[in-house]
Amino acid sequence: MTPPTTDEPELIARAQQGDMQAFEALYHRHKTALYRTALAISGDRFLAEEILQEVFLRAYRHLPQMRTDVSPAPWLYRVMVNLTYDITARRRRKQTMLQKLADWLPAPIKSPEKQVETQELQTMVLKAINRLEIKQRTTLVLFYLQDLSLEEIAEIMNVPVGTVKSRLYYARKKLRNTILADKQLLRVLAYEHS
């Protein structure tokens, strides 16, 4: 058995030679951050798990071409972001079709209690984030949740650094306006910080 290592280039080289423990070590090193990012962008736990599995399936298939002189993190994030965009767009199209169908059906009558229920702070904030356009949401998540630099985000999203800055600016502005417009969210935030 090969001794464990923390050196990513060595792990990649060993995985390329068929060492599954090395590939598993790479998986464990990156899975949590990738899952959290996919969850924050998609807003769906099951979708985030599906994306995580697909990212590492692609990583395994791409293993022979993977460079051993750099970290695989930017490539893994790029794959994750592209998958999230593709799957989210597909689901949105499907939901639009389902919504058109649902418009033909009578709406159920909701009890007053169900209409008045409030959501937890985390749910409301996620809702506000999910209102952002997906590229702005992704940029915001990579910057704040994953603490990536502007340059790293630009590489992952395959855009200039200026575009990343612009997306961050507009995402923060829209998020601030959404929170200010949501009186219930403002009350909860004020209560939480009092």
CATH of the domain at 175: 1.10.10.10
Q: Report pLDDT for 185.
A: 55
Q: What is the pLDDT of residue 35?
A: 92
Let me know whether 100 and 155 are in one domain.
no
Residues 6+ apart with CB under 8 A from 50: 87
The 10s digit of each residue's pLDDT in 81-101 is: 988 888 877 776 655 544 544
Q: What is the pLDDT of residues 121-132, one digit of tens each?
A: 566 667 777 888
pLDDT band at residue 6, thresholds of 50, 70 and 90? low
The CATH number of the domain holding residue 103 is 1.10.1740.10
Q: How would you classify residue 168: left for phi > 0, otherwise alpha for psi between -120 and 50, otherwise beta?
A: alpha
List pLDDT tens digits, range 22-79. 999 999 999 999 999 888 888 888 888 889 999 999 999 989 998 888 888 888 999 9
Q: Which of 88, 107, 126 is the last residue of a domain?
A: 107
Q: Are residues 123 and 176 in the same domain?
A: yes
43 and 97 share a domain?
yes
Same domain, 135 and 159: yes
pLDDT band at 174 (very low <50, low <70, confident <90, very high): confident
pTM over 0.85: no
Residues 96 and 35 in one domain: yes
* 181 and 164, same domain (yes or no): yes
CA atoms within 13 A on the CB side of 168: 21
Question: What Rg, from alpha-carbon coordinates, does the chain have?
Answer: 20
145 and 79 both lie in a single domain: no
| pLDDT (0 to 100) of residue 192 | 45
Picking from 155, 151, 126, the residue whose alpha carbon sits closest to that of residue 141 is 126
- Reduce the DSSP state of residue 106 to 3 states and report it: coil
The domain boundary residue, chosen from 54, 87, 107: 107
Same domain for 98 and 131: no
Residue 48: both structure tokens together:
């985030």
Q: Is the pLDDT of residue 164 over 90?
A: yes
* Domain interval for residue 162: 108-194
| pLDDT score of 148 | 84
Give yes or no: residues 86 and 151 share one domain: no
134 and 193 housed in the same domain: yes
Tell me, yes or no, whether 75 and 133 share the same domain: no
Helices (H), 131-160: 134-140, 150-157
For residue 117, the model assigns a pLDDT of: 41
Give the total number of structural domains in the chain. 2
Burial degree of 189 (CB within 10 A; 0-12, 13-18, 19+): middle
